[in-house]
Amino acid sequence: MSRAQEIADLLSGVTITTADNTAQLTLTSTDADANHGPRLDLKRDSGSPADNDTVGRLRFLFDNDAAEETEAVRIDTFIPDVSDGTEDATFQILTMVGGTIRSRVEHNSTETVFNQDSQDLESAGMNGLVENIEPDPYQKDTLGIEEDVKSVKYSILYMKAVKALQEAMTRIETLEAKVTALENA
């Protein structure tokens, strides 16, 4: 293969494959200073940036029991406003729930939204996460809410989200090993 073809192939995308559970990509910084590193930049360098452009997407994929590639977790980033000096960003975490990818956490310029797609957290193994509390003054006076409202305990949600991501990664690694074993059989 010519050097020009190697460069063309590299520019069209890279796939790194291993036959075991070793890391496919490692970024190492040998800097001895206190600054952050190693660093990974995901850059969308558009010649015509527009509001609501997707900036990047990180996906965690696995094969289900029908050998179909399935998205377990997705992290999306958007730029709702690209105007110089007033740029806004949105960061969203989505997970697979009952066969459908659902928004679980979204951070945007005005709020942090949990469970955007209205999954029933109490019946989804999230015991202790949701509690009934008395409405705050804004909810009472402005919105006219008199009954108790549901509140999410964010610290518990964070711990459960980290645990769920770790469990998903373990399952994904197991599935990757099984697929590799089948491919090599």
Interval 113-159: pLDDT, tens:
777 666 655 555 556 677 777 777 766 777 677 777 777 777 777 77
Please indicate whether residue 124 or residue 81 has the higher confidence score (pLDDT).
81
Phi, psi at 174, each rounded to 5°: -65, -45
Following CA atoms 161, 163, 169, 175 in sequence, which dihedral angle do they give, to the nearest 10 degrees? -110
User: Worst-scoring range by mean pLDDT, 21-35, 61-75, 77-91, 131-145?
Assistant: 131-145
Q: What predicted TM-score, i.e. pTM, was given to this entire model?
A: 0.55
- Res 1 pLDDT > 80: no
120 alpha-carbon distance from chain centroid: 20
Q: Mark residue 159 as left, alpha or beta (left: phi above 0; alpha: psi -120 to 50; beta: remaining).
A: alpha
Per this entry, what is the length of the chain?
185
Mean pLDDT rounded to a whole number for the chain = 81
Query: Across the chain, which distance is largest between two alpha carbons, in Å?
Result: 73
8 alpha-carbon distance from chain centroid: 30
pLDDT at 83: 94
pLDDT at 21: 78
User: Worst-scoring range by mean pLDDT, 2-6, 71-75, 91-95, 140-144?
Assistant: 140-144
Please indicate whether residue 1 or residue 91 has the higher confidence score (pLDDT).
91
Q: Work out the number of other CB atoms within 10 angstroms of the CB of residue 104.
A: 22
Taking Cα atoms as reference points, which of 129, 111, 112 lies closest to residue 120?
129
Q: What percent of the chain has pLDDT over 70?
A: 88
Q: 14-53: b or e for each residue (b if 16 or more CB lie within 10 Å)?
A: eeeeeeeeeeeeeeeeeeeeeeeeeeeeeeeeeeeeeeee
Range list of H helices, the chain: 3-11, 137-141, 154-184
